[in-house]
Chains A and B, each alone.
Chain A
Amino acid sequence: MTAVHLGMPGLPTAPRGVGHLRGTESFPDAARHELRNGQLRANLGHATATIRGKRAGVVAEVPDWEQLRAAGKAIKAATMARLDEHLVELERQVTARGGTVHWARDANEANAIVTALVQATGTTEVVKVKSMATQEIGLNEALEAVGLDVFETDLAELIVQLGEDKPSHILVPAIHKNRAEIKEIFARTIPGVDPELTDDPRQLAMAARTHLRERFLRARVAVSGANFAVAETGTLSVVESEGNGRMCLTLPDTLITVMGIEKVVPTWTDLEVFLQLLPRSSTGERMNPYTSTWAGVTPGDGPQEFHLVLLDNGRTAVLADEVGREALHCIRCSACLNVCPVYERTGGHAYGSVYPGPIGAILSPQLTGVEDNASLPYASSLCGACYEVCPVAIDIPSILVHLRAEHVEAQEHPTAEALAFRGLAKAMSHPRLWHLAQRGARLGRLIARGKPTLPNVFPPPISGWTRSRDLPTPPTRTFVQQWTEEHGQ
């Protein structure tokens, strides 16, 4: 069954039953488990604070940062306004340079296309560059289901894959694991690993190098995502650090790139903006160690067969929402995660989707239809830190409020909160009712037993409010009573 995006012209959202855009429980329920994990909170607190500091330092040294940010936002808005034209041009250019372009309506179709392409090569092993799009569609599971061996080659993705875990951050998916936990995973899962392996990050990285080296050298098929695709030249781009991306993009005979349709940019010149915005926002470096670009196939250099899979999977439904479509501008830097007070405490798993944090809270519900991720637009205090650091100035708080409104309007029955506010409105517009209510509230002092806040003893639906918030003990005298005593009627 395909959910239909509310209030939109019926464009299909990402299908259920495939991929990783929906959690098994709501955000508040998932967050409650995660918050009990002290190790997780310590790891996250350390990691996000480190990366926030690095980002702030390298952003401050760019005198025209705000101009770049405005240009980035405008380029993305201009691209979305003519998305069909840019995709058709991209297809024309990639095809002209020896590549093959495939279109996928959704995750199932993309998985089927990639599976068939891999099977056609006759190989049983696939090496992968870290890619959000392929995580979103659950490509690894689809390939493994037909008996193919899939190797994640990014260090953090490898840690997640070997630990049979889930990624919790867009950029550093194993941010929730510390060195001791990673050492344990490597010692347990890497065949022939040095028994003397310690938890020194250098030693762990070298263990991964040794483990993957041979696989790179024998790989015949690689699957990647793309950070950018230039329509006018057919140039694809992958931005990375470790060199695993270069291995995958260079050594195999066949390269299959899966890319969300929103990743296209119109011109080569546009990359001059994004290649300045992305690394500083993302890893807090002036430039990431490696950026690769390629257009189709180059004789004598790199894969001689290139396939580009253009993925919708709910993106056109997002595009149809004039307010929410800005979520498609995201360049996956993850700066918004690192500054978010909610993400810093709950971690990425609580969001249930491969897109966690503030951007995930606006992107996932739109890709799936807000009814399938209804709690995510509320997973924010609306503090606005995400908007401030976003390199393409996505107004995340406004979109969160927009999605909350959409969710509320879609309710067939009034919620307990709506009923409570309706009652409050009535009481506040009738003085006698209001005084009666205030007197009633004073009974709360009996439960408080002299404490400044009430204990959490309320039944649902009130508990929905009080389990994560303190309810102050009502005062002995109301404001009106005090005023009357001091100033007379």
Chain B
Amino acid sequence: MSAREEVLARIRTALGETRAPVPEVVRDYRQAGNAPADAALLALLVDRVEDYRADVLRCGPEEVGATVRAALTRGLGEGWAAADVVVAPGLDAAWRPDGCDVDDDRPAVQLADRAAAVTAVAVAIAETGTLVLDGSPACGRRALSLLPDCLVCVVTVDQVVAGVPEGLARLDPVRPLTMISGPSATSDIELQRVEGVHGPRQLFVVLAG
């Protein structure tokens, strides 16, 4: 008997010949709602993201490009060069710093040579301060939001939802998803939190609209 057949046979033995009915799952927790993001929800997102010691920059829909550049100045210091910055291939052209590098099909490890990356997000979850990137052209491949040490993510208000159930309901589970809640961190030494281990040490969220 193959290992597959044997493990499945063991499960059938363990569960017995006459199986008990499947217990009902009651989902009376807070479920996905479709209320548009109001000011309170946006304030909650900002509070939660900042609690992870990430920086939030708010701007109007027309000011995204300038705000992204401001975030890069905070992260990289004055005098950063556009060539230090790599952006997701599908990022809105108006949001890109002039002359920046656009990710292409180069080997992923080469992205480690760039100081900062700029991407969009698929969803932002206010209650947990979580950004979700879904590998779409605007979000870029997973290595893009991982290797450069400074990450700038642009969130538009229509992408903000209240809780985890609303967030997951908007996502495609077949795409490679990365949920980001603050900068990379560890608490492995005496449970003291240190931001920035292997992932980006700095996270900037540009909240537009």
Contacts and interface: CB of A to CB of B under 8 A. Distances in A.
B198 A212 contact: yes
A403 interface: no
Contact of B176 (A230, A234, A261, A298): A298
Given A174-B188, A298-B135, A242 B198 contact: yes
Interface in A162-183: 172, 174-175, 178-179, 182
Contact of A105 (B7, B129, B174): B7
B177 interface: yes
A88 B11 CA distance: 12
Contacts of B24: 74, 78
A377 to B, nearest CB: 20
A212 B23 CA distance: 46
B22 A286 contact: no
A201 B128 CA distance: 26
A366 B78 CA distance: 60
Contacts of B108: 250-251
B198 A301 contact: no
B145 to A, nearest CB: 9
Interface in B147-172: 163-165, 168-169
A261 B7 contact: yes
Given A286-B127, A289-B199, A268 B168 contact: yes
B174 A233 contact: yes
Contacts of A83: 11, 15
B198 A247 contact: yes
B14 A292 contact: no
A180 to B, nearest CB: 10
A154 to B, nearest CB: 7
Contacts of A287: 125, 128-130, 179, 181
Interface stretch (B27-35, B60-68, B114-122): B27-35
Nearest to B183: A289
B96 interface: no
Interface residues of A, number: 98
Contact of B13 (A204, A217, A312, A320): A320
Interface in B165-208: 165, 168-169, 173-192, 194, 196-200
B5 to A, nearest CB: 8
A81 B15 contact: yes
A70 interface: yes
Contacts of A87: 7-8, 11
A40 interface: no
Interface stretch (A271-279, A426-434, A448-456): A271-279
A71 B198 contact: no
B60 to A, nearest CB: 28
Contacts of A273: 27, 29
Contacts of B168: 268-269, 271-272, 275
B6 to A, nearest CB: 6
Contacts, number: 246
A154 B14 CA distance: 35
B99 to A, nearest CB: 25
Contacts of A174: 188-189
A132 interface: no
Contact of B173 (A153, A261, A293): A293
A241 B141 contact: no
A71 B25 contact: yes
Given A87-B8, A301-B135, A302-B176, A290 B184 contact: yes
B188 A275 contact: no
A179 B189 contact: yes
B58 interface: no
Contacts of A275: 164, 168, 179
B3 interface: yes
A105 B6 contact: yes
Contacts of A249: 142
A312 B4 contact: no
Contact of B142 (A67, A77, A213, A250): A250
Interface in A337-378: none
Contact of A289 (B2, B10, B135, B185): B185
B43 interface: no
B174 A97 contact: yes
Given A272-B164, A289-B199, A242 B14 contact: no
A77 B173 contact: no
B163 to A, nearest CB: 8
Contacts of B29: 64, 67-68, 71, 273
A104 interface: yes
Those 7 A-B pairs whose CB atoms lie nearest each other, nearest first: A243-B199, A243-B198, A316-B10, A320-B14, A287-B128, A156-B188, A243-B184
27 contacts: A11-B10, A11-B13, A11-B14, A12-B10, A64-B30, A67-B28, A71-B26, A155-B189, A179-B189, A201-B194, A205-B188, A242-B199, A249-B142, A250-B108, A272-B165, A272-B169, A275-B179, A286-B51, A287-B128, A289-B183, A290-B179, A293-B179, A298-B176, A300-B141, A316-B14, A319-B14, A320-B14
Given A105-B7, A218-B109, A302-B142, 10 more contacts: A71-B29, A81-B19, A155-B188, A246-B178, A272-B169, A289-B52, A291-B178, A302-B176, A319-B11, A319-B14
